[in-house]
Every structure is written in structure tokens, then in C-alpha cells.
């Protein structure tokens, strides 16, 4: 059995933490409009949107068009964090498990990726961390312009 590992990516933000977290919490489906070069679509498949247990299909570009079905596992409004777990998709070719927590703080967004490699040849999820940082920066710029 492979060992579970953790990878963190962090970036500074200039918009208010409440505004950025509020977007992740209540408007994430519109990311495809804000970052169309990175996110093609986000579609609700099961459950009540933006609530624990809902399942969404993300189509995103990471070199090529990919998809990932995710479930919201936890929402902690007091700590401004949301945890997503991957259920299916391209990412599962590399990882047995893949869980992402986004936490918004004063002046920063931190993405924590907990993963278990499907094989020793699977890379660390650096590309996904970089992707999350780029989306965060794009969203920050968008929110500052509003």
C-alpha cells in the first residue's frame, strides 16, 4: 500500500478574504467564465449545490482537456476552508486518493493536497498546486476589478 502524502501551495491575495472565500463557497461554478483557459466547465451532478455531499464534474485544462468528478467533503465557514475529494477522472490514473482543501486567510490562499500515489512512478501533484495558484490569482484579479 502506498503512503499518503501532503503537498501545499500558497499564494498571496489582495482582495478581502471574505470576498474570495465567499466566491469559493457560493459561486465556484462561474470560474469557467473567469478562467476559461484553465476551467472549461463545472457541472452539478448530485445533491444541493455548494453543500457537503454534493458531487460536481470539473472539466479543466492541464496540458490537455481533463475531467474530475469531486465531492464536497467538508465546509468550515469559521475557518474559511472547503475540502473536496476526487471520486473519478483523469487524476485517478496517477493517484489512489486525492483530496484538496482550500483555505482563505488574511492576504493568502492555501491549497493543501493530500494524496496517495497509484504507483511509485506517479509524480507529486506539483502541477495541480501550480494550477490552483494560477486560478486563485486569476480570481483575485477578477474580484479586485469588481
Nearest Cα residue to 28 out of 107, 143, 128, 146? 143
Question: Domain extents for the chain?
Answer: 4-145
Backbone φ and ψ for 33, nearest 5 degrees, come out as -75, -35
pLDDT exceeds 60 at position 19: yes
pLDDT on residue 3: 85
- Whole-model pTM: value is 0.93
Backbone φ and ψ for 125, nearest 5 degrees, come out as -80, 40
Q: Which CATH architecture has domain 4-145?
A: 2-Layer Sandwich (3.30)
Instruction: Decide: 74 and 52 in contact? Cβ < 8 Å.
Output: yes
100: confidence class by pLDDT, cuts 50, 70, 90: very high
Q: How many CB atoms lie within 10 A of CB 69?
A: 18
Q: What is the mean pLDDT of residues 40-54?
A: 96
62-99 residue pLDDT tens: 989 999 999 999 999 999 999 999 999 999 999 999 99
Amino acid at each position: 500500500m502506498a503512503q499518503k502524502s501532503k503537498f501545499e501551495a500558497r499564494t498571496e491575495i489582495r482582495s478581502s478574504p471574505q470576498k474570495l472565500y465567499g466566491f469559493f463557497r457560493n459561486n465556484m461554478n462561474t470560474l469557467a467564465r473567469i478562467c476559461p483557459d484553465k476551467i472549461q466547465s463545472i457541472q452539478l451532478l448530485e445533491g444541493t449545490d455548494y453543500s457537503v455531499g454534493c458531487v460536481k464534474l470539473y472539466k479543466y485544462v492541464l496540458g490537455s482537456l481533463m475531467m474530475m468528478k469531486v465531492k464536497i467533503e467538508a465546509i468550515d465557514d469559521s475557518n474559511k476552508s472547503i475540502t473536496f475529494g476526487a471520486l473519478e477522472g483523469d487524476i485517478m490514473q496517477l493517484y489512489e486518493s486525492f483530496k484538496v482543501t482550500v483555505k482563505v486567510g488574511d492576504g493568502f490562499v492555501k491549497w493543501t493536497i493530500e494524496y496517495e500515489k497509484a504507483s511509485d512512478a506517479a509524480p507529486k501533484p506539483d502541477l495541480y498546486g501550480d494550477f490552483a495558484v494560477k486560478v486563485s490569482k486569476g480570481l483575485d484579479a477578477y474580484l479586485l476589478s469588481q
